[in-house]
Amino acid sequence: MGVLGNSREVSPKRLLLVPLFLSFLLTFSLAEVIFEERFEDGWQGRWVKSDWKKSEGKAGSFKHTAGNWAGDPDDKVSIQTAIDARHSAISAKIPEFSNKNRTLVLQYSIKIEQDIECGGSYIKLLSGFVNQKKFGGDTPYSVMFGPDICGTQTKKLHVIVSYQGQNYPIKKDLQCETDKLTHFYTFILRPDATYSILIDNRERESGSMYTDWDILPPRKIKATKAKKPADWEEREYIEDPDDVKPEGYDSIPAEIPDPKAKEPDNWDEEEDGIWKPPKIPNPAYKGPWRRKKIKNPNYKGKWKTPWIDNPEFVDDPDLYVLKPIKYVGIEVWQVKSGAVFDNILICDDPEYAKQVVEEVFVHREAEKEAFEEAEKVRKAREEEEAQRAREEGERRRRERGHDRHHRHRERYRDRYRRHHRDYMDDYHDEL
């Protein structure tokens, strides 16, 4: 920007940057942002809080806050789940769009500040008409994307797409982040049915809807009836047919008399027989003769069952096409609330989405420092509470000990009085 607005003499090096900058502007001018939400002023006019589960007393809510450790001091707005063990649902109507013949990018940030224990933090794209006041877990959706954490075992990243009215989860086991900092989740779906999944601008997974979802039968299947051909050569090496055994090879003994052995001085042939030197391995003996090995000229490798076209596969060139998207929604249940949703983006340009992440992560280190400071405060508070609890427990133990001592002393006095009174009664009787 400063290059274009500067009236001073511009160096040739800077002039070379101008076409690149114009190209950059052109790229983003062609990109379409369908919906982008930073939860700034006016957000409540775009979003509708659902009454789902309200009649059962299980409806949650969201509060307008950036959470406890925001990295950007100027960014003080996001929405955060606010009530433990409740169903929180909220949605926004967006300009209707179709991803036919275009790339779909769904991206948002989530900061799970709480020890969630168990619950989801995902986002949904909805098609068709949605009664937003009744939007809930049973509302049909076209895409569900985001983390789901439960205990120490489940740390799943959901990617569920709808096809002809049925939901299909991705077959791959994808893991989400579990720390308490902000993380960006990005799902990119392209017109060739390939996809990418990014976390914090780093690709974590990629592939094709044809192979990574059980939506269509596979293109290829194994020919289970196929048999290995009789002349199939799996031997990589074979004996050299031209190799000839050396003359006299078989006459070489495996053992020979030890040439260093000597007859003992006390050997008696009449009693011990004729002395013979012990046998030792013959260094000239090479074992049974075998032809040397050579590369098998007919080697074809290990035979494998071949793949053939699947007769049940019927291609759908619109496999990647979702029903026209009309809404974006958050519908989650969390044992412990406190997940902060922000930076929701629906567009057709992965580069613009990448730029959004970079823009927010300018303050990444500041967020880490704010979190570390909050952790210090939390630990200090917990230690203070633990100290007060220990002191209260000690006070109660002392009181119980004092009471026991007091009751013991009173019982002793009662016994003494009764004994003294009985003794004096006997004394008076004797008088």
More confident of the two residues 53 and 383: 53
Contacts of 130 (CB under 8 A, 6+ apart): 91, 139, 326, 327, 329
Give the span between the Cα atoms of 235 and 88, in whole angstroms.
Answer: 64
The answer to whether residue 428 scores a pLDDT higher than 60 is no
Lowest pLDDT segment from 38-47, 86-95, 101-110, 242-251: 242-251
Asked whether the predicted pLDDT for residue 396 surpasses 80, the reply is yes
DSSP letter for 331, please: E
Locate 209 and state its tokens. 């809807």
* Predicted local distance difference test score (pLDDT) of residue 402: 67
Instruction: Find the mean pLDDT for residues 295-310.
Output: 95
Instruction: Give mean pLDDT, residues 377-405.
Output: 84
C-alpha–C-alpha distance, residues 322 and 380, integer Å: 51
pLDDT score, position 16: 40
336-368 residue pLDDT tens: 999 999 999 999 999 999 999 999 999 999 999
Banded pLDDT at 426 (limits 50, 70, 90): very low
Contact 196, 354 (CB under 8 A): no
Report the distance separating Cα 340 and Cα 354, nearest Å.
20
Per DSSP, the three-state class of 49 is: strand
Give pLDDT, residue 14.
Answer: 37
